[in-house]
Amino acid sequence: MPVTTVSAAVHITPVVIKTFLKHTKNKARRLKASQEDSIPQDDIFFDEAFNIVKAFIELGTKNTVESLQAFTNTHVPAPYWALVRPIVVPFSSCNEAADALIEWFGPDELKYVVGGERWWQVRGLNGVDAEWVAEQQDVGPNHKTHPTTGAKLKSAEADIVRLEKLDKVMYYIHGGGYFWGSINTHRYQILHYAQKFKGRAFTVNYRKAPQYPWPCALQDVLAGYLYLIHPPPEAFHKPVPPSKIVLAGDSAGGGLCLSLLTILRDLELPMPAGAVLISPWVDLTHSFPSVMQNTPTDIIPQYGFLAKPSTLWPLPTKPENGGRVVKTVSNEPPEPGKAEPLDPELALHNRKKQDNDDVYGPGKPVKSQQEMLDSSGQTPSSSNPVTPDDNEGLEDEDLDLYEPKPPKVLMENPNATPLELRSQIQLYASTEQLTHPLVSPILQGSLGNLPPLYILGGDGEVLRDEIIYLAHKAAHPEQYPARSGILRSGRQKENSKKFTKPTKVHLQIFDGMCHVLTVFMFTQTASYAYRSIAEFVNHVTKYDEAHLERNPFPELHQPPEVIPGVGDNVSGRGDEKESHILKKKTHTNPPSAQGDSEKGVEGNDSSASDVNIYLENRSVTIENVLENKADTLRSTTSLDPQTDIPGVIMVRERVDIHGEVRPMEPASSIPALQMKPSEIGIIKEAPAMRWATGQDLWDKRYAKHADKAIEQQARYKKKADRLIREALTQGFVHRSHGTANESTSSPQNPPEENTPPRKVRKRTSLGRIQALRRWGPLDLEDENPPKSAIAARRDTPEAVALLKKSIYYTAPATHLNIPRLKPMHALRAAFDPHDDPNKPPPQSVSEQQVTAHFIPVHGLRVWDNLLRYVGRKSKAKAVDGIKSTVGELPTISKSGH
């Protein structure tokens, strides 16, 4: 059964019941064992929500990739109180982003690492689906005409103009493992952010892997940013100043944010005011220890993101050459733990020096891992560039026929024979690409010279260690260099020397919390996180670059920022504690941190509770900084109530389950920060074998599905071939296939060499040639796209749909005409439920949103409603406690006395 609302309910209902029954028993057992430290699971609402999310993701692994994508990319209407306006980021912005990436990669990297410059620009839609998001009550009045041009506005256009009242923009990039999730799964969270910082949000539905693997998503998120700051003439919003934009993203979206920032930095494009990274996934090799340690306390499946076989995934559909992970049959290169370079000149040079035999053929005795590592130090490795003299003897045909050997796994026992991977292990990119700095940005040559970063993670999540390492690498670029193999790239080597300025970082790790803690927005910790993120957005978009260079942290701003709508008695303990600190350090009275309103934030007590936590934590942060418990350029022991605390590079904090902060332990006592650069971005035995164990179980469980998928692949390949043949008979002309007369020629009946192609009409059907659509699936000669990319495939239904749309409906500029469907073809299409000759075929669910027709209440809407219900119940309990506590405290006057 595919992933649907019904199947999710059937799968999750027993989990809800089981969790409820076990909750009281587990809590009583902990109390009996005198475990006084609280954990998030002590709250029944969190315990239920945690297990619901975990069960849903597990359900996704028991279905095909396309099924999970379709469910999480189903359009869900926005709530009535929200202003949500869908738009499309047009080809002009997409092409601008493509040109920037082409400049970043350079010709060699495009050819050998990316696989070309055309395939990743192929898309089914006419741009990137995107949305403007805000609260109705925060936007300006309706406009019937454009305030500048005077042109009449449609309703959707008028709403975009109304949004201009809100100058602050959060550009949110959603997560989902780079292959699932959408605007619809994250809309309620994005609305919550916009509500908190009183601004507007912009978000894109970027193309997902494996149909559109790296760097497709990167092009789309860059196009969205350029659309904001350089809108095309047809856009209805004014250019947004980069100083008013804050990037934000969770999980895969956090990784995309970081990669986007490094591209902007490297190309000297305008940078945003700051970025919020929530549980960013920045190491796709899984080389940090927490990946193996924290599985029981996280929502990520034990074996990773597996899937039931389909025509699309896994690759290969069934194990080949003895299995997906086997003992290596060749000596290095590549070295254990690494993939062979995709640059053939370097790889073939190493091979010739090593004098290795074929990958799968019989050769010299295979060495142990230690012997391979010892011998690799005597030959040029991936850390040393190849000189022109080294290339003598490399023939051109060697470069053309080059294929990288399977990546080897770094074994825990140095005397063991390394394993090698013969299957793709991540959906986002090929195994050879996983160590590219734009795939795994933890491997960037430097993360210095970036705008201020606010990084949040859970102590119980599998990505905890890479999150901590990322934050420290950004704040201290010279202390955490990239390994030498990464620095062989000219750009990364240059970056390591050029970008040495520390990035200002606020790192917070939340006790007991799992991956993307903001999903559980009803908890006190998440409530504080939303408020703290909002204050970060407000701060970095309010002040100029010089001010932010002195202090990008809102907690350290003096006088304290005014939070609109906070009443005199809302913050209670926080103001009392801050007053005490200020008096102790300066012997002066602090200014008021409250606004003039007597109501709580947003007019309700539940909002006042997160403000209260934030204000109290601000006081603790100030105290810790003054006690030299933060990374600073110079020591600060006194506080001027009218001047920011300057010179702080990094604020490092832990947050307990009640939302209260405390200083993080020294870097010297954090194991992840003791790792050597050579240990990072390496394919290691434990995570690789865990994945292989799970994949073997899936291969056996779904063996019949794999056989069926292979049969379907053959049928779709025939369908694609027939589609092209019929298009040629209908007058289609393209350089990759020629005319119909050329296609029917044979050695016995060759075409006349000097016969010019017959004249064709530019438009002969319902479709049209789009001048700004650069490339289509038939334009990929001489390119080497990843095996999963549907732009180059013909054996999946989505690949055929992309091909048909490109030929008949929205052709790229390279096509000379649009062929006309003959009556016979239209009649045949009428009997195919998946075909309609009068409109383009639906595109991949990794790109195009799905419209639900049968079930009025979709599972995503049910989840949103559940979050709101649990949030109301949880906050009601919290507010009762706050009211009783505040009632016991003395009232603090505005003067601070």
Catalytic residues: 251
Instruction: Return the residue matching tokens 């947050």.
Output: 655
Distance between CA 799 and CA 787 in Å, rounded?
12
For residue 43, give the nearest of 590, 602, 657, 497 by alpha carbon. 657
Residue 81's contacts (CB-CB under 8 Å, 6 or more residues apart) are: 135, 136, 137
Q: Are 175 and 252 in contact (CB under 8 A)?
A: yes
Instruction: Return the residue matching tokens 């749909």.
Output: 801
For residue 221, give the nearest of 234, 231, 207, 232 by alpha carbon. 207
The two tokens of residue 568 are 């005199």
Distance between CA 554 and CA 452 in Å, rounded?
11
Report CA-CA distances (Å) from 828 to 267, 766, 822, 824: 51, 18, 10, 6
Q: Are 882 and 573 in contact (CB under 8 A)?
A: no
Residue 729's contacts (CB-CB under 8 Å, 6 or more residues apart) are: 740
Distance between CA 477 and CA 295 in Å, rounded?
30
* Amino acid identity, position 427: L
Q: Are 173 and 247 in contact (CB under 8 A)?
A: yes
Q: Are 660 and 612 in contact (CB under 8 A)?
A: no
3-state secondary structure 173-238: ECCCCCCCCCHHHHHHHHHHHHHHHCCEEEEECCCCCCCCCCCHHHHHHHHHHHHHHCCCCCCCCC
DSSP secondary structure of 849-860: PBPP-S-SS-HH
DSSP, collapsed to helix, strand or coil, labels residue 555 as helix
Contacts 24+ apart (CB under 8 A), 690-693: 690/292, 690/302, 690/303, 690/304, 691/303, 691/304, 691/425, 692/324, 692/325, 693/303
Report CA-CA distances (Å) from 544 to 273, 548, 549: 9, 6, 9
